[in-house]
Amino acid sequence: MKRKLVVGNWKMNGMTASLREIQKLGTAHPAPTVDILVCPPATLIATAAGLMAKSAIEIGAQDCHSAGSGAFTGDISAAMLSDIGAKAVIVGHSERREYHKESSALVSEKARSAHAAGLIAVICLGETEAERAAGQTLAIIADQLDASLPAGTTGDNTVIAYEPVWAIGSGLTPDRTQIAEVHDFLRDRLGERIGTSGAQAIRLLYGGSVKATNAAAIFAISNVDGALVGGASLLEKDFTPIIKALMD
């Protein structure tokens, strides 16, 4: 049985003092019935991984380069992340697709590199507000999924996060029918690509303004196996109710 998963994406937030929040999470959830992954900024990964090594909290990264090593000033490879204790890496977040002009082809390369380094790739995709208004949501999701998924994708090495761009950090969320439509579509499309049982094994996360007050309703939707949480993952007191809602 696949375990449900909640991922915290700290984005470019968090100084060394913020590690206390991850330690509090470990204390609050000594034996969780779901997987908990926190992705702090790269500067905190090694220390966080060391501090949480004996806990149920896994530490991940927010991005990696597609190559294993080389002349890429300022970049970090998946192998380097693995070396400092990361267990997973987010790839294709809409903020990287938008601000760094990352294509789905590059996202696929990054996911392939993550797999090669033994990391779980959390592949993000989602439509913009204009694309939804134009009735293009499923076409965009299909294109992004098809092009972002590397060969060799399995439930053990890949998580898919559906994050409507317009819902991220906005306080807006799609209604339950809209989330179900995309998640059901993702499950079917994954089935066409890697077979039904392979598709069933992949955790499908919803992301975009998840908070304590809407988490339980979102987790009740078909084919939602957890959440990718931004703002509400920064403080243990905000993240814990979301984790508890997933465990219920």
Catalytic residues: 93, 163
Residue nearest to ligand PEP (CB): 230
Is residue 228 at the binding interface for ligand PEP, with CB under 6 A as the rule?
Answer: yes
Is residue 45 at the binding interface for ligand PEP, with CB under 6 A as the rule?
Answer: no
Give Dmax over CA atoms of the chain in angstroms. Answer: 48
Q: Report the candidate in 43, 34, 83, 35 with the shortest Cα–Cα distance to residue 62.
A: 43
For the bound state, the minimum distance from the C-beta of residue 168 to ligand PEP, rounded and expressed in Å, comes to: 4
Residue 184 CA: distances (Å) to CA of 28, 119, 175, 204:
33, 26, 14, 10
Is residue 91 at the binding interface for ligand PEP, with CB under 6 A as the rule?
Answer: no
Q: Report the candidate in 195, 154, 148, 168 with the shortest Cα–Cα distance to residue 94.
A: 168
For the bound state, the minimum distance from the C-beta of residue 73 to ligand PEP, rounded and expressed in Å, comes to: 26
How far is 243 from 133, CA to CA, in rounded Å? 32
For the bound state, the minimum distance from the C-beta of residue 207 to ligand PEP, rounded and expressed in Å, comes to: 4
Is residue 9 at the binding interface for ligand PEP, with CB under 6 A as the rule?
Answer: yes
Is residue 210 at the binding interface for ligand PEP, with CB under 6 A as the rule?
Answer: yes
Q: Report the candidate in 46, 52, 120 with the shortest Cα–Cα distance to residue 84.
A: 46
How far is 237 from 214, CA to CA, in rounded Å? 15
For the bound state, the minimum distance from the C-beta of residue 71 to ligand PEP, rounded and expressed in Å, comes to: 30
How many chain residues are in contact with ligand PEP, going by CB under 6 A? 14
- Which phi and psi (to 5°) does residue 205 adopt? -100, 145
> Chain centroid to CA 247: how far?
18
Residue closer to ligand PEP by CB (options 58, 163) is 163
Question: Among residues 62, 66, 104, 209, which is the contact residue for ligand PEP, using CB under 6 A?
Answer: 209
Question: Among residues 208, 224, 226, 236, which is the contact residue for ligand PEP, using CB under 6 A?
Answer: 208
Question: Interface residues for ligand PEP in 113-172 (CB under 6 A)?
Answer: 163, 168-169
**Would you say the C-alpha torsion 146, 147, 153, 157 has a positive or negative sign?**
negative
Residues of this chain that interact with ligand PEP (CB under 6 A) are 9, 11, 163, 168-169, 207-210, 228-232
